Amino acid sequence: MKVSTRVEYGLIALVDIVIHCENGQSVSAPDIAKRQNISHKYLEHILLPLRQAGFISAQKGLRGGYVLACDPEKVTLSEVLNALDNTILAGMDTNEEEGGLRPVINDMFWQKVNSNMKEYTDRMSLSDFVSQCRSGLSGEWDLYVI
């Protein structure tokens, strides 16, 4: 399965915004780009569909940036993925006339993989996903000072 950088970076940017705007503060695109090692210019293009879908909103001004504009408990990962690329969770088209193994493998393997991914992303809220990401990062936050 191939996931575009638009989807990968979009998910990364959204999680970054959720984590860093918890106190109601906005998160600037340059800060996200620097933290996540993403081109600032490319990041701005990726944030647009997240804004259009209503997941984030932009604040202008000196302390401007992006804030979460939705309840992360009510947003599913499938909604986020579809906002970034509406084909990622779409079923595969099979051409019945192709013959051979391709239609069988598509039905027996790829359709099941896609179905499982869709089921997982439909069940996973953005809030739960961010919590899991935080757990994965917990080792990076350990700092011992003597």
Domain count, the chain: 1
Q: Give the separation between CA 53 and CA 94, rounded to whole angstroms.
A: 30
Answer yes or no: is 52 within a domain.
yes
Residue 13 falls inside a structural domain: yes
146 in any annotated domain:
no
**SS3 state at 67:** strand
Residue span of the structural domain in which 19 resides: 5-141
Can you give the CATH number for the domain in which 12 is found?
A: 1.10.10.10
Task: Tell me, yes or no, whether 100 lies in a domain.
Answer: yes
For residue 141, is pLDDT > 60?
Answer: no
pLDDT score at 97: 66
| pLDDT one-digit tens code per residue, 49-82 | 999 999 999 988 877 899 999 999 999 999 999 9
Q: What is the CA radius of gyration of the chain?
A: 18
Please report the pLDDT score of residue 139 as a whole number.
61
Q: Does residue 94 sit within a domain?
A: yes
Report the predicted TM-score, pTM, of the whole model to 2 decimal places.
Answer: 0.83
